[in-house]
């Protein structure tokens, strides 16, 4: 039997860690068994669905390389198919038209609540078998009235529900649009889905869906409901919280390898193994190891995984990413041949590529704007004078190497009785436009003498232009 899985997001928001973990597990099952992975967009909630979110679903999945073998299929393009099934169901008394008014349903609900009865449709139109040609109607599923529906969830184990507790739920609304519980079943049947992976918020829908599948004599897939993911403060992930969006991490220069590894470990483990490349994931993934209890979104973990991958993936790959970010900041990388050496020297200081690109921005951009406040706060007369000396001393270095630059700076600090930390602040402000940065001496070495001198000159021009008046101490 060919294993077929699907990811079926509703395009009503950006994908967050919860959605993407579902996509990953579903993808992994398909890959592990050499099967097929389908992308299906569940867009029947027309008011809340949008093209923007569809685009982001595709983009985010491509970024993580969760490529789909078929699709994307859109439920709104499949109404003809649903209609075919509906006709069959109505003709065979598996579904029926319900003409009850909102007013009647509200009255019924009120009555049931008042009398301690669980609110539920009373099957009025099923019993009456009325037919009008000029009245709005919904279509309801004629759910079995007796017995039980059971299924063996691959995570939660056996689940058993009394059919009498299930409603004759609506499968087509009065605007003619079929509902989620109906479309999902028809699509799963038509696409021959073998494994349904989704969030456990759908557990309650499953018996309803199974009953529709049974009524159509189709094959029931395996169900894998994934436990909740909680925020660090123990609350349910919200679509509205930016921190949960995959897109945010993509924009902030996290590596897809780190995000995938993080998603995999959100509720799944393999001994003590922490690092999984894509082949490990495909080979080792096993439904039985999915954790039943909710997992917590630990942002620190994402950071540490990202750092791991930044330091362990090939430099050429990291450099490609960095170039992309630099390009966004209008830094052209032509003739910047030493980029790999520089990355290699500095990468350990950064958590993500965006952070690194900010550094490299200052590194490569010669005419960046100096920060007025920084100058105002840190530059004084003595430092200014020292800077002039530094300019000359560094200008006179014959052999441009780290040792000589370091020696010259230390020597000035010693002679001028000025703590080295002040000289470093001065250099950082003039060379990088930043109060803090790593290894300023290394940076000076890599930007080379010409750029070093140019930046000091630019800094001095900035001081004169802004008329900083120093009090001589």
Binding site for ligand GLU (CB under 6 A): 8-10, 42, 184, 198, 202
Residue 146 Cβ vs ligand GLU, minimum distance, rounded to whole Å? 27
Residue 81 Cβ vs ligand GLU, minimum distance, rounded to whole Å? 17
CB closer to ligand GLU, 56 vs 362: 56
Residue 11 Cβ vs ligand GLU, minimum distance, rounded to whole Å? 9
DSSP line for 138-195 = EEEE----SSEEEEEETTTEEEEEEGGGS---EEE-TTSPBPHHHHHHHHHHHTT-SE
SS3 string of the chain?
Answer: CCCEEEECCCCCCCCEHHHHHHHHHHHHHHHHCCCEEEEEECCCCCCCCCHHHHHHHHHHHHHCCCCCCEEEEEHHHCHHHHHHHHHHHHHCCCEEEECCCHHHHHHHHHHHHHCCCCCCCCCHHHHHCCCCCCCCCEEEECCCCCCEEEEEECCCEEEEEEHHHCCCCEEECCCCCECHHHHHHHHHHHCCCCEEEEEHHHCCHHHHHHHHHHHCCCCCCEEEEECCEECCCCCECCCCCHHHEHHHHHHCCCCHHHHHHHHHHCCECCCCCCCCCHHHHHHHCCHHHECCCCEECCHHHHHHHHHHHHHHCCHHHHHHHHHHHHHHCCCCCCCCCCHHHHHHHHHHHCCCHHHHHHHHHHHHCCCCCCCHHHHHHHCCHHHHHHHHHHHHHHHCCCCCCHHHHHHHHHHHHHHCCCCHHHHHHHHHHHHHCCCCCCCHHHHHHHHHHHHHHHHHHHHHHHHHHCCCCCCCC
CB closer to ligand GLU, 195 vs 455: 195
Residue 12 Cβ vs ligand GLU, minimum distance, rounded to whole Å? 8
CB closer to ligand GLU, 125 vs 171: 171
Residue 178 Cβ vs ligand GLU, minimum distance, rounded to whole Å? 13
Residue 208 Cβ vs ligand GLU, minimum distance, rounded to whole Å? 12
CB closer to ligand GLU, 5 vs 261: 5
Residue 33 Cβ vs ligand GLU, minimum distance, rounded to whole Å? 19
Peptide bond into 72 cis (omega under 30): yes
CB closer to ligand GLU, 38 vs 258: 38
Residue 78 Cβ vs ligand GLU, minimum distance, rounded to whole Å? 14
Residue 436 Cβ vs ligand GLU, minimum distance, rounded to whole Å? 44
> Which two structure tokens, joined as six digits, stand for 127?
């019993």
CB closer to ligand GLU, 182 vs 262: 182
CB closer to ligand GLU, 24 vs 444: 24
CB closer to ligand GLU, 43 vs 168: 43
Residue 39 Cβ vs ligand GLU, minimum distance, rounded to whole Å? 11
CA dist 220 and 350 (Å) reads 49
CB closer to ligand GLU, 206 vs 319: 206
CB closer to ligand GLU, 32 vs 202: 202
Give which of 364, 332, 348 is closest to 433, Cα–Cα: 364
Residue 229 Cβ vs ligand GLU, minimum distance, rounded to whole Å? 14
**Is the distance from CB of 395 to CB of 389 less than 8 angstroms?**
no
CB closer to ligand GLU, 40 vs 455: 40
Residue 446 Cβ vs ligand GLU, minimum distance, rounded to whole Å? 49
Instruction: Give the pairing type, strands 36-41 and 70-74.
Output: parallel
CB closer to ligand GLU, 193 vs 353: 193
């Amino acid at each position: 039997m060919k294993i077929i899985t699907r990811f079926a997001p509703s395009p009503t928001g950006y994908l967050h860690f919860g959605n993407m973990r579902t996509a990953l597990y579903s993808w992994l099952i398909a890959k592990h068994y050499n099967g097929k992975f389908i992308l299906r967009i569940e867009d029947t909630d027309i008011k809340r669905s949008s093209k923007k979110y569809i685009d982001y679903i595709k983009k985010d999945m491509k970024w993580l390389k969760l490529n789909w073998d078929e699709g994307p299929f859109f439920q709104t393009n499949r109404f003809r198919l649903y209609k075919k099934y509906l006709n069959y169901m109505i003709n065979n008394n598996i579904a029926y038209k319900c003409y009850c008014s909102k007013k009647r349903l509200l009255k019924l609900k009120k009555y049931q609540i008042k009398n301690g009865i669980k609110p539920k449709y009373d099957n009025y139109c099923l019993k009456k078998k009325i037919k009008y040609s000029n009245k709005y109607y919904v279509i309801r599923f004629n759910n079995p009235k007796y017995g039980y529906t059971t299924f063996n969830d691959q995570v939660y184990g056996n689940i058993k529900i009394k059919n009498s507790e299930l409603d004759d739920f609506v499968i087509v609304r009065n605007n003619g649009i079929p509902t989620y519980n109906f479309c999902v079943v028809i699509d799963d049947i038509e696409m021959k889905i073998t494994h349904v992976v989704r969030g456990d918020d759908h557990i309650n829908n499953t018996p309803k869906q199974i009953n529709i599948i049974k009524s159509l004599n189709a094959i029931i897939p395996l169900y894998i409901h994934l436990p909740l993911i909680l925020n660090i403060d123990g609350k349910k992930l919200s679509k509205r919280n930016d921190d949960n969006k995959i897109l945010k991490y993509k924009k902030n220069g996290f590596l897809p390898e780190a995000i995938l590894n993080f998603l995999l470990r959100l509720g799944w483990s393999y001994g003590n193994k922490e690092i999984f490349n894509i082949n490990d994931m495909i080979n080792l993934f096993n439904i039985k190891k999915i954790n039943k209890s909710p997992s917590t979104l630990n942002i620190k973990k994402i950071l540490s995984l990202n750092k791991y991958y930044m330091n362990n993936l090939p430099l050429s790959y990291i450099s490609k990413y960095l170039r992309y970010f630099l390009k966004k900041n209008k830094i052209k990388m032509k003739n910047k041949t030493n980029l790999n050496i520089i990355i290699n020297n500095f990468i350990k200081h950064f958590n993500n590529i965006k952070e690194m690109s900010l550094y490299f921005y200052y590194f490569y951009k010669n005419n960046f704007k100096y920060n007025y406040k920084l100058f105002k706060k840190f530059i004084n007369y003595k430092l200014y004078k020292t800077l002039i000396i530094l300019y000359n001393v560094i200008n006179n270095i014959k052999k441009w190497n780290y040792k000589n630059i370091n020696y010259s700076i230390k020597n000035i600090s010693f002679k001028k009785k000025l703590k080295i930390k002040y000289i470093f602040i001065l250099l950082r402000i003039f060379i990088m436009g930043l109060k803090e940065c790593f290894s300023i001496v290394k940076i000076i070495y890599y930007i080379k003498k010409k750029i070093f001198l140019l930046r000091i000159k630019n800094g001095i021009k900035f001081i004169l232009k802004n008329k900083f008046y120093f009090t001589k101490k």
